[in-house]
Amino acid sequence: MSEATREKIGESRWLKWLDERFRMKRWVVEAMKKPVHPWARKWYYCLGGLTLVTFLVLVVTGLILLQHYRPTPAGAAESIGYIMNDVWLGWLVRGIHHWAANVMMVLIVAHMVRVFLTGAYKKPRELNWIAGVLLLVTTVGFYVSGFVLPWDQRSFEIASAIVGALKQIPLVGDLLAGIVTSVTPVGGEALGFFFDNHVIVLPLVIFILLLFHFVMIRRQGIAEPL
């Protein structure tokens, strides 16, 4: 029996084992056989998928960085130095995380522009457009909070600017700023706020929005060009 034949048999056994427990075969076959219109194969229709890929890269690298990061005013900068200098390939993981965040911002904005220019936000896809806008806002939240986490001079200035901007909001500005800083000057409480949102709140929000976004795309299909 050839090596290729043995691998094929082994693969079939694994697939059969998985299908017996999760009944995945029908879903996979339906997904793989779903037709794609020729106009949807152009590169600018792939911006949403590329945004998802960069987000997954951020999740993986972020989980690695989280193992070594300490979200305290005294330990944040020190832990960043430890990641960069002492953790094996830590500098590479942090660099990938940093540049993936920048690429994701570019891709999601480009994706929103493409959706707008092709009229894909119109009925019956208006709810999906709203979900996309919320995903953009959530991504900006990820981007900004990530810059605060090193807690160096630039991070402190960014946090102070955010708190200052919140205070300018009529009626609720002081309340929102107080939530961020726990009614104290910008300090450890603000760092904790941004860290909690970066690793807990925003991931939960973006997961729910992504689930809704892709379910709607699956049901409605890709909008035809104008």
Nearest CA among 145, 150, 144 for reference residue 72: 150
Q: Which domain holds residue 82?
A: 35-220
Note whether residue 171 is domain-resident.
Answer: yes
In the chain the first and final C-alpha atoms are separated, in Å, by 55
CATH of the domain at 91: 1.20.810.10
Predicted model pTM: 0.78
Total of domains in the chain: 1
Mean pLDDT in residue range 157-163: 75
Amino acid at 216: M
Mean pLDDT in residue range 142-171: 79
Nearest CA among 162, 182, 45 for reference residue 114: 45
Amino acid at 94: R
* Structure confidence at residue 206 (pLDDT): 93
Q: How confident is the model at residue 84 (pLDDT cuts 50, 70, 90)?
A: very high
* Structure confidence at residue 158 (pLDDT): 76
Cβ–Cβ under 8 Å, residues 179 and 193: yes
* Structure confidence at residue 42 (pLDDT): 74
Q: Has residue 87 got a pLDDT over 80?
A: yes
29-38, 75-84, 210-219: segment of lowest average pLDDT = 29-38
Mean pLDDT in residue range 100-116: 92
Note whether residue 20 is domain-resident.
Answer: no
pLDDT top residue among 185 and 136: 136
Note whether residue 174 is domain-resident.
Answer: yes
CA 142 to chain centre: 8
Note whether residue 53 is domain-resident.
Answer: yes
CA contacts within 13 A on the Cβ side of 34:
13
Gyration radius of the chain's alpha carbons: 22
Cβ–Cβ under 8 Å, residues 14 and 22: no
Tens of pLDDT, residues 13-54: 777 777 777 777 777 666 666 666 666 667 777 888 899 999
